[in-house]
Amino acid sequence: MIGRVKEALEHALVRIAPALPRNPNLLTVMGLMVSLAAIPAALIRQYPVLLPIIVLVSGFFDVADGLSARFNNRVSNSGAFLDSALDRFEDSAIIIAVAVLGGLSDVLLIEAYVAVVGSLLTSYMRARAESLGLRMLGVGFFERPERLIYIFTLTLIYALVRRIEILTYGMGLFALITLVTAVQRTVVAYRLLKNH
């Protein structure tokens, strides 16, 4: 699903490509800076709406760097690697921010740990499989764009109703689905490699 979601966003934002900085790596780093601000923002519990705003802005930069790279003919392997590497830092920071927003309860800490591991494994399984020659784009139903949309929706609902159960159950489901997606990619990749 990653391709469909990201393509839809890029199509909607393609008109702003000429106004973006010519260096896509600058946008990638800006996205990281925004994501790292999620944790201190989550500490300001009287304004929980700050976290979904940060997730939304982070998602914008995730799309914008690719738009800038293509529009300015600056697509490169080094840029793709930087984008992928910093995405992992961003994902981890945002997940930890959700646990911070929820007061760092024992349950939320465990869920956040599992969610970070699941997110990293999901991305790793794709990277490893593709390094072995497989095409894994779209394999798995909870890839990065879906995860960002989920976290945005979860934190926005929490900001509106301010019930800790929203974060507890929501993050538990998030952790479970990331692990299932990682396992799904592992099984698909293994079967494809075994049949080669």
> Higher model confidence: residue 127 or residue 140?
127
pLDDT tens digit sequence for 43-66: 998 899 999 999 999 988 888 888
Residue numbers annotated as active site: 87
Residue 91 corresponds to which tokens in the numbers above? 């994902």
Could you tell me the sign of the dihedral formed by the alpha carbons of 166, 108, 90, 170, in that order?
A: negative
Predicted pLDDT of residue 8: 65
User: pLDDT at residue 117 above 70?
Assistant: yes
Domains, the chain, in order of start with CATH, read: 2-194 (1.20.120.1760)
Region for 135 from its dihedrals, namely left if φ exceeds 0, alpha if ψ lies in -120 to 50, beta otherwise:
beta
Q: Which residue carries 């925004």 as its tokens? A: 34
pTM above 0.85, yes or no: yes
Contact 12, 153 (CB under 8 A): no
